[in-house]
Amino acid sequence: MKQKTTKLIVVMAVVGVFLLSPLAAQDLEKSAYHVFLDFDFAITMEVVKDGKMVVPILNIIAFSGGTWEISPPDVKILSGKGLYASDLRFSFDTGDSDKPYVSTYLRIEGGDFIGVDVIGELKDYEEPTLVRIRLGDEWFSLVPVEVDAFEAMLDGLNNIDLRDPDLVTAFDKQNLPLMGTRDSINE
């Protein structure tokens, strides 16, 4: 699954830039595509259907410094039926599609990128109504978007230097809007 996402990102860079104005104006109740984007993190979840399996692909880019650990309770996916996904695990591509590395723990450090398949009982989660990720003492709420807006955002991220110290200007040049919300757990 991760290889398909990587190929999709490369194809989008070749195809060209999509209009990003619809990205900021959307108000969807559910979608297979969810995004959080600010100057500290880019977090996406793309839900793909592979045969009868439904697999959310979680990608996190940490622009800022720090270290964060993630376990299944830190990932909240709500179905259209109002149920949260349970018994989640993280699946890493090992190069052998029959033998992925499955874990209940992720660690990401500032300047890093991580992409994993989220696995579990997810057949009713093709278009989640809510996606939240906990990093440290904050919950990040991702915004549901349409596929064209999702691809445009990925294209914009592909065209910036992720280690650029002036991300504000880099985001502005690529027309990348800030999306989603973050809430401190300690408030």
Using CB atoms within 10 A of its CB, is residue 84 exposed (0-12), middle (13-18) or buried (19+)? middle
At 151, the pLDDT band (50, 70, 90 cuts) reads very high
Which fold would CATH assign to domain 2-184? Immunoglobulin-like (2.60.40)
The amino acid present at 6, given as its one-letter code, is T
- Per-state percent for the chain, helix, strand, coil, to nearest 5: 20, 40, 40
At 117, the pLDDT band (50, 70, 90 cuts) reads very high
Q: What is the pLDDT of residues 85-105, one digit of tens each?
A: 999 999 998 888 788 899 999
Strand pairing class (113-119; 53-62): antiparallel
Q: Which residues contact 10 (CB under 8 A, 6 or more apart)?
A: none
* Mean pLDDT calculated for residue range 144-162: 91
What pTM does this model have?
A: 0.83
Alpha carbon distances (Å) from 90 to 114, 116, 133: 11, 6, 13
At 165, the pLDDT band (50, 70, 90 cuts) reads confident
What b/e sequence results for 2-37 when a residue is b if at least 16 CB atoms lie within 10 Å of its CB, and e otherwise? eeebeebbeebeeeeebebeebeeeeeeebbbbbbb
Q: What is the pLDDT of residues 5-54, one digit of tens each?
A: 444 343 333 333 333 344 444 567 899 999 999 999 999 999 998 788 89
